Amino acid sequence: MDRNDYLILTGQTESHLVSYDEQFLIHKDILKPFKNLQEIIFEKRKCKLEILSGFRSFDRQKFIWNQKCKGKRAVRDNNGNPLDIEKLSPYELVCSIMRWSALPGFSRHHWGTDIDVFDDHNKPEHIELVPSEYQQGGPFYQLSDCLSELISADRCFDFYRPYETDLGGVAIEPWHLSFKPIAKEYQEMITLEVFEKFIAEKEFNSIELIESVRENAEEIYYRFISP
Ligand SMILES: [Zn+2]
């Protein structure tokens, strides 16, 4: 793995990205398949597939993470209710944050291949980004159901849902799509050895609770990072 791979994987370069809708950056190779997907979803259900979040940089993810560590942004339990972080050990806090937010340097949103999507034709005043919005009765149910149908028929232009089932690591995210041909390559590069090497880099020193991450690297890797 070379320096450029390290920068792409950890969200520290924009060299592989293009602008979408002048609002989001996404991997240059997903623009066309995404537009194809938009079209088929509109034809089938009259839903307007749009992006809520595309590329997210290392610094942006670090900002979110550090705010959660300092109690300036809610850390949630498995049911989505806010936790009293004072009662948690550093490692418990790391694991609680990682249910809902990636460790900076290891968000799939760093790659540009992964996007959070919603239906712009059925947009409520405020999007919470919770599973119920994508389930029956929720505003994005039609979109989500259409995506499920296309994915299982292998007609989703190589997009899939990496957080489809809850195995105790990252919680279910029906809104999160990933462009498999490229994302799979990136994912496979992040072995345990690579993970340990990355978190030892100096950029990671400014991440809150990084010492706890380093001490529990193997367990964190198998629960939250590895495929
Ligand atoms: Zn996402």
Domain edges within the chain = 3-56+107-189
Residue 166: pLDDT above 90?
no
Ligand 1 centroid–CA 197 distance in Å is 24
H or E segment and range at residue 59 = helix 58-69
Residue 152: pLDDT above 90?
yes
Ligand 1 centroid–CA 33 distance in Å is 18
C-alpha count within 13 angstroms, C-beta hemisphere, residue 143: 27
Q: In terms of DSSP bridges, do strands 159-160 and 176-179 run parallel, antiparallel, or are they unpaired? A: antiparallel
Give yes or no for a contact between 16 and 26, defined as CB atoms under 8 angstroms apart.
Answer: no
Ligand 1 centroid–CA 102 distance in Å is 9
Ligand 1 centroid–CA 224 distance in Å is 14
Supply φ then ψ for residue 138, to 5 degrees.
-90, 160
Cα–Cα distances in angstroms (integers) from residue 144 to residues 136, 138, 164, in the given order:
9, 10, 12
Ligand 1 centroid–CA 178 distance in Å is 9
| pLDDT on residue 79 | 79
Other C-beta atoms within 10 Å of 47: how many?
24
Ligand 1 centroid–CA 56 distance in Å is 10
Place of tokens 């004072």: 86
Residue 192, token pair as written in the block:
């345990």
Other C-beta atoms within 10 Å of 21: how many?
9
Higher pLDDT among residues 78 and 86, named by residue: 86
Residue 43: band (very low, low, confident or very high) from pLDDT cuts 50, 70, 90: very high
pTM score of the predicted model: 0.94
Residue 227: pLDDT above 80?
no
Residue 124: band (very low, low, confident or very high) from pLDDT cuts 50, 70, 90: very high
Ligand 1 centroid–CA 116 distance in Å is 5
Say how far apart CA 18 and CA 54 lie, in whole Å: 11
Ligand 1 centroid–CA 176 distance in Å is 5
Residue 168: pLDDT above 90?
no
Ligand 1 centroid–CA 42 distance in Å is 22
Alpha helices, DSSP H only, in 70-161? 90-100, 141-152
* Third-level CATH fold of 3-56+107-189: Muramoyl-pentapeptide Carboxypeptidase; domain 2 (3.30.1380)
| pLDDT on residue 127 | 96
Say how far apart CA 4 and CA 189 lie, in whole Å: 13
Ligand 1 centroid–CA 115 distance in Å is 6
Ligand 1 centroid–CA 109 distance in Å is 6
Q: In terms of DSSP bridges, do strands 24-27 and 17-20 run parallel, antiparallel, or are they unpaired? A: antiparallel
Ligand 1 centroid–CA 51 distance in Å is 10
Place of tokens 């880099």: 201
Please state the rounded mean pLDDT for residues 132-146. 97
Please state the rounded mean pLDDT for residues 10-32. 97
Kindly report, residue by residue over 187-210, the tens digit of the pLDDT.
999 999 999 999 999 999 999 999
Higher pLDDT among residues 81 and 61, named by residue: 61
